[in-house]
Amino acid sequence: MIQKKKFVKTFRNTKTVQLVLLLLLEAAYVLVLTLNPALGTKLFEDRTLFILCTLSWILALFNLIWLLYDFYKLRTFAEESHALNRAAFLDHLTGIPNRHGLDVVFETYDSPESLEHVACYMVTITNLKEINQTMGHVVGDQMLKDFSGILESVGDAFGVVGRNGGNEFLMIVNHGSHDTMDYFIESLAQQLKEYNEEHSNAPIQIKYAYILNEEAHAEYFSTLLTETYNKLHA
């Protein structure tokens, strides 16, 4: 990915230089003809010289068109790359970061010092399997999307929210404390209560766990993640 970005940057810079040189050459050509009318007269009188100059202008025009086309393709490539990156790091069903997207976040915690005050929250929808079996996967998928929206709307103020896979979700809090997590849990519970009152036929039921690294003292994020998972499924 890094090599591809370097190639695109080099290619864009090369094309920019070519475009600037071409425009400067054409500007110099027009300037010479403007400042030297006699040369312009001779150009139109000498058939061979006129043909050569005409061909050079046509070639320059084609070069300009191809350069502009290259810039168009570069822009299209950049837009497609951005879309592919979003597709790679966002969950296609819920629109929140998937495990690949979360892994990018995990990599930022590359030292015990960066993990010192981090909290890891993990939550699972306990009745999703039952909903899928009794009401169908369409209802189950809608439940996943609805819960993702609720979790994201509440969790964005606290940290990074993502889908860990299946019916499991994560939230990473940089400055976690019991007070912070209690406030988040209460806010989420209130939102779920309101949701379940409106969706009594398919209420969202959850189970959660969190760990503060200031208590766990994990040196690696993977360790903190594993401990949170084990606590959730204990």
In this prediction, residues 223-229 reach a mean pLDDT of 95
Asked whether residue 174 is assigned to any structural domain, the reply reads yes
State how far the Cα of 225 lies from the Cα of 228, in Å rounded to an integer: 5
Does 120 score more than 90 pLDDT?
A: yes
Residue that is last in its domain, among 89, 123, 138: 89
User: pLDDT value at position 9?
Assistant: 66
My answer on whether 193 and 163 are in the same domain is yes
How many domains, the chain? 2
Mean pLDDT for the chain? 85
Q: 83-103: per-residue pLDDT in tens?
A: 445 556 888 899 899 988 888
Coil, strand, or helix at residue 160? strand
My answer on whether 113 and 219 are in the same domain is yes
My answer on whether 25 and 118 are in the same domain is no
The residue range of the domain holding 142 is: 99-232
Q: How confident is the model at residue 148 (pLDDT cuts 50, 70, 90)?
A: very high
User: pLDDT value at position 74?
Assistant: 66
In this prediction, residues 144-157 reach a mean pLDDT of 95
Asked whether residue 151 is assigned to any structural domain, the reply reads yes
148 vs 83, higher pLDDT: 148
- Residue 1's alpha-carbon distances to 6, 9, 76, in angstroms, are 9, 12, 17
My answer on whether 138 and 23 are in the same domain is no
Q: From its phi and psi, is residue 98 left (phi > 0), alpha (psi between -120 and 50) or beta?
A: beta
- Residue 232's alpha-carbon distances to 112, 203, 206, 207, 225, in angstroms, are 23, 20, 11, 7, 11
My answer on whether 104 and 80 are in the same domain is no
My answer on whether 73 and 105 are in the same domain is no
Asked whether residue 131 is assigned to any structural domain, the reply reads yes
My answer on whether 204 and 152 are in the same domain is yes
Q: What secondary structure does DSSP assign to 81-95, as a single string?
A: HHHHHHHHHB-TTT-
Residue that is last in its domain, among 33, 64, 89: 89
Q: 18-74: per-residue pLDDT in tens?
A: 778 777 877 777 777 777 777 767 767 777 767 777 777 787 777 778 777 777 766
Asked whether residue 31 is assigned to any structural domain, the reply reads yes
My answer on whether 156 and 119 are in the same domain is yes
State how far the Cα of 215 lies from the Cα of 222, in Å rounded to an integer: 16
Q: Do residues 154 and 187 lie in contact, with contact meaning Cβ atoms separated by under 8 Å? A: yes
Asked whether residue 57 is assigned to any structural domain, the reply reads yes
Q: What is the H or E stretch that residue 163 is in?
A: strand 160-165
Residue that is last in its domain, among 66, 89, 112: 89
The amino acid occupying position 144 is L
In this prediction, residues 206-229 reach a mean pLDDT of 95
Strand order in the sheet with 160-165: 160-165, 168-173, 119-125, 206-212
My answer on whether 178 and 129 are in the same domain is yes
My answer on whether 113 and 80 are in the same domain is no
State how far the Cα of 61 lies from the Cα of 22, in Å rounded to an integer: 9
Q: How far is CA 201 from the centre of its chain?
A: 35
State how far the Cα of 202 lies from the Cα of 204, in Å rounded to an integer: 7
The CATH number of residue 191's host domain is 3.30.70.270
Joined tokens for residue 90: 């966002």
State how far the Cα of 232 lies from the Cα of 223, in Å rounded to an integer: 14
My answer on whether 159 and 180 are in the same domain is yes
My answer on whether 75 and 143 are in the same domain is no
- CA-only gyration radius of the chain, Å: 30
Asked whether residue 94 is assigned to any structural domain, the reply reads no
User: Taking each helix axis from N to C terminus, what angle separates 137-155 and 178-198, rounded to the nearest 10 degrees?
Assistant: 140
User: pLDDT value at position 83?
Assistant: 47
Q: Do residues 164 and 122 lie in contact, with contact meaning Cβ atoms separated by under 8 Å? A: yes
Q: How confident is the model at residue 231 (pLDDT cuts 50, 70, 90)?
A: very high
Question: Worst-scoring range by mean pLDDT, 84-98, 110-124, 150-164, 214-228?
Answer: 84-98
Name the one residue in this structure whose structure tokens are 């009594």.
Answer: 200
Share of the chain above pLDDT 90, in %: 53
Q: 170-206: per-residue pLDDT in tens?
A: 999 999 999 999 999 999 999 999 999 999 999 999 9
